[in-house]
A and B are shown apart, each in its own frame.
Chain A
Amino acid sequence: MKTINAKTKDLKFTNQALKESLNGHPVVIKNAEAIYGLAAGLKHGQVIIEGSAGDYLGVLNDGATIHVTQNVGKYLADNMTQGTVIVDGDALYGPGQYCYGGTIVIRGNAGDFAATMNKGATIIVGGNVGDEVGTYMLKGNLIIVGNAGKNLANYLIRGSIYIGGVWESLGHNTKVAALTGDDKAQLQAYFETYQIVADAKSFKKIIAASEKPFYN
């Protein structure tokens, strides 16, 4: 297992060192808070970030597994297409935006505009989420164990949002649907896989009221 100390290092150096170190073994990165765009565009490998990470962690991730032991900045796993990103702490504004695939697990809380324009990823938040979460979502799943702020799922186009707690308000073009047996089984499987304590039976499901929310 190789360790990279990112303290005082820039993005180019750190990501280059990371790519060169991904040879089948996990790579540990320390002192990564100040690096923006760390582990960008990786297609494989396992990255462990000890401590917290900065903005745009795992942007364009295309297959790597990234684990952060503390918190992350804004725009976690932005535009991810494949892979898994797990954060043990909280994620600031906008985690999981523009993702086409992969899985994001945030064990703590997630900020506003999480999962905006999600196009296929599964995003699991163990705590609460902020406002406008799931805006313009087109595909994929967003699972919120805790509560949500204002305008949850605003202008939802396609995809499903599951929430265990309560929301402050729902956004446009949303409706609450009955949780099916398949939904419960899928949720329970995610919880077991990622060791999240929650009871799938108590979740509510939110889907788009219309598949064409903008024009008739």
Chain B
Amino acid sequence: MAVIGAFCVSVNREVCINSQMPGKCATCAQVCPHGVYALDLLTGEMDIQNYNTCVGCRICSEFCPVNAIRINPAEPEYITRYPWTFGAIEEIHYKAQTGEYLLRGFGTHGQTPNFDMITVVPSQIASTAPLDKYREECDMEVVIGEDTCEKPIHLKLPFVWAAMSFGALSKEAKMSLAIGAAMTGIAANTGEGGLLPEEAWLARGFTDSEMSRKKWEPGGYLIIQWSTGRWGVSVDYVNSGDAVEVKIGQGAKPGMGGHLLGAKVTDDVARVRGVPKGSDALSPCRYYDVQSLEDMKHMVAFLRDVTHYQFPILFKLGPSRPYADVAACIEAGADAISIDGMVGGTGCSPDLVTQGVGIPTIACLPPAVQALKDYGVHHKVKLIALGGIRNGLDAYKAMAMGADAVGFGSAAEIALGCRVCYACHKGNCPYGITSPKPEMRARLDPVEGGQRLANFIHATAEEIKILTMLSGHRATIELSTEDLRAMDLNTAALTGLKLAGYERSLPMWEGVFASSATPAGNGKNGKHVRQAVSKT
């Protein structure tokens, strides 16, 4: 029998040489040391005589000249072979052969704590009565920068597209996102790869660069990203959108920058990024022109100045130390802060970073919210939750935990047709979403893609409306942690939510933020944040 686990051995008889011409090939039987295969010496026919002896070494598959054999575990590998799964084994073989570590796209897979073990508490007789979804209104608008700039953003729905660059995404995918934003009144984001010219007018709902022909209502917004690589950045660039987002980190690879491999720096990408064609576009892991929190404040100050004090300034954080990081953003003058949990996506990242670095989204939110509360700016400086948000249920839970809005990155790609193969970095996306190749890009129509995204947003908004109203609220801003319960100890421990049945937070959460920064205005919190930043 197998050393560990059981295996299904399947032979594709249509391509197997022995099946077509008995006696011509018996490689599998010859190489298998476990007696799985048997060769009938009279007829020359090979057959599988004993499945149970297969140990999953795959030597037969390796040697089969026509690749006709598949060996699959009969039970989940995580029961029978963990931690030596086939994936782990193949990774070691790859490294041994090439001397390189694994790169991949998309995001974290496997069991990472997420919103699934949180449940929504409906209203009933002991609380505010539920509201009627059909007759009564539900306010979901989110305003960013209402007290700090001349042109605040009024998101019609509490959503943004997560930052995804041109280069990581195809031109058609970027255009789809812009059109989807225009159709729904939410915000698109350039990402760090510079401004695709079409984005600027499509996101606002126009079909021409002069913005004279409006096609899509209500029209959306465009967030301009300012990052460590500073691709395609100029004073015109920062003035071409409706907000500037300072990227500090991202969920899929916190602590790292970005890296668009030279193979994806085509003529178009090179033009937008302002770099030579084929050159690696490396975004450093940190700003070389920011060495302290004071520098960051100055950066925000000059960004406000060059944008004529019109636009909100946003920050995007990876999942590191949410309390101190959010506090630093508040100190620096943020109008909104996106925090991207470790399930957030990427165009390309070392596998071990995507899989093993960062804090889950559900665990980022409580300390981030607490920092905002400690500074007295919760719901004033807007918090946007990113990282593995899939639907209205996830979005509702994130907002009940204190976020003002949520962002969709991976979900937006899936809405465009992505089937999650984790190979975005190879440039061969068959759905035209992440590929720069014309034949693949031709499969994605930007208007159709924009409509799919708009449909997704509308459906998701309806889901949030259902949940908001069944829990007795007229606006998403009224949601609170009282509308949620954790369904297991792990989730209760990570989030501080009340445990269902127990109806209290776990004792470990009592006074957990008592030593945190004092409210804004007394001059102490700045020192606290600077200490926290210097420690990090």
A residues at B contact (CB < 8 Å):
11-12, 15, 36-37, 40-41, 43, 55-56, 59-60, 62, 74-75, 78-79, 81, 93-94, 97-98, 100, 113, 116-117, 119-120, 135-136, 138-139, 157-158, 211-215
Closest to A98 in B: B230
A147 vs B302: C-alpha distance when bound (angstroms): 33
A164 vs B387: C-alpha distance when bound (angstroms): 50
Q: List 3 A-B pairs, minimum CB-CB distance, nearest first.
A: A37-B302, A41-B306, A41-B235
A62 vs B238: C-alpha distance when bound (angstroms): 12
A37 vs B238: C-alpha distance when bound (angstroms): 15
**Docked-complex contact A11 and B301, CB < 8 angstroms:** yes
**Docked-complex contact A81 and B234, CB < 8 angstroms:** yes
A128 vs B74: C-alpha distance when bound (angstroms): 68
23 contacts between A and B (CB under 8 A): A40-B305, A41-B302, A56-B298, A56-B302, A59-B302, A60-B235, A62-B236, A79-B233, A93-B291, A97-B289, A100-B233, A100-B234, A116-B288, A117-B284, A117-B288, A119-B275, A138-B276, A157-B279, A158-B279, A211-B262, A213-B280, A214-B259, A215-B280
- Contacts A60-B238, A79-B233 known; A37 to B274 CB distance under 8 Å? no
| Cβ–Cβ < 8 Å partners of B284 in chain A | 117, 136
- Contacts A117-B288, A215-B280 known; A100 to B274 CB distance under 8 Å? yes
Closest to B99 in A: A216
- Contacts A62-B234, A116-B288 known; A37 to B278 CB distance under 8 Å? no
User: B261 on the interface (CB 8 Å rule)?
Assistant: yes
Not counting A62-B234, A97-B289, A214-B280, a sample of 13 additional A-B residue pairs whose C-beta atoms are within 8 angstroms of each other reads: A37-B298, A40-B302, A41-B238, A41-B305, A59-B306, A75-B289, A79-B289, A93-B291, A139-B276, A157-B279, A211-B279, A215-B100, A215-B280
Query: Looking at chain A's contact residues, is the secondary structure mostly helix, strand, loop, or mixed?
Result: loop
A59 vs B234: C-alpha distance when bound (angstroms): 10
A100 vs B276: C-alpha distance when bound (angstroms): 12
**Docked-complex contact B279 and A113, CB < 8 angstroms:** no
B residues 14-53 touching A (CB-CB < 8 Å): none
Distance to closest chain B CB from A63 (angstroms): 9
Distance to closest chain B CB from A44 (angstroms): 12
| Cβ–Cβ < 8 Å partners of B274 in chain A | 100, 119-120
Query: Looking at chain B's contact residues, is the secondary structure mostly helix, strand, loop, or mixed?
Result: loop
A158 vs B309: C-alpha distance when bound (angstroms): 36
Question: B270-314 CB contact bits vs A (8 Å, 1 = yes)?
Answer: 000011101110101000110100010011011001100100000
Distance to closest chain B CB from A104 (angstroms): 14
**Docked-complex contact A117 and B229, CB < 8 angstroms:** yes
Q: A15 is contacted by which of B229, B233, B291, B305 (Cβ under 8 Å)?
A: B305
**Docked-complex contact A94 and B230, CB < 8 angstroms:** no
A74 vs B276: C-alpha distance when bound (angstroms): 28
A60 vs B301: C-alpha distance when bound (angstroms): 13
**Docked-complex contact A157 and B298, CB < 8 angstroms:** no
| Cβ–Cβ < 8 Å partners of B278 in chain A | 211
A55 vs B302: C-alpha distance when bound (angstroms): 11
Q: B289 is contacted by which of A41, A43, A94, A100 (Cβ under 8 Å)?
A: A94
A213 vs B259: C-alpha distance when bound (angstroms): 12
| Cβ–Cβ < 8 Å partners of A60 in chain B | 233-235, 238, 302, 306
Distance to closest chain B CB from A151 (angstroms): 14
Q: B302 is contacted by which of A11, A117, A120 (Cβ under 8 Å)?
A: A11
Closest to A38 in B: B302
| Cβ–Cβ < 8 Å partners of B280 in chain A | 157, 212-215
Closest to B238 in A: A60
Q: B233 is contacted by which of A36, A98, A116, A158 (Cβ under 8 Å)?
A: A98
- Contacts A93-B291, A94-B289, A211-B278 known; A11 to B305 CB distance under 8 Å? yes
A40 vs B298: C-alpha distance when bound (angstroms): 12
| Cβ–Cβ < 8 Å partners of B229 in chain A | 117
Closest to B230 in A: A98
| Cβ–Cβ < 8 Å partners of A62 in chain B | 234-236
| Cβ–Cβ < 8 Å partners of A211 in chain B | 262, 278-279
Closest to A63 in B: B235
- Contacts A60-B306, A62-B235, A136-B284 known; A212 to B262 CB distance under 8 Å? yes
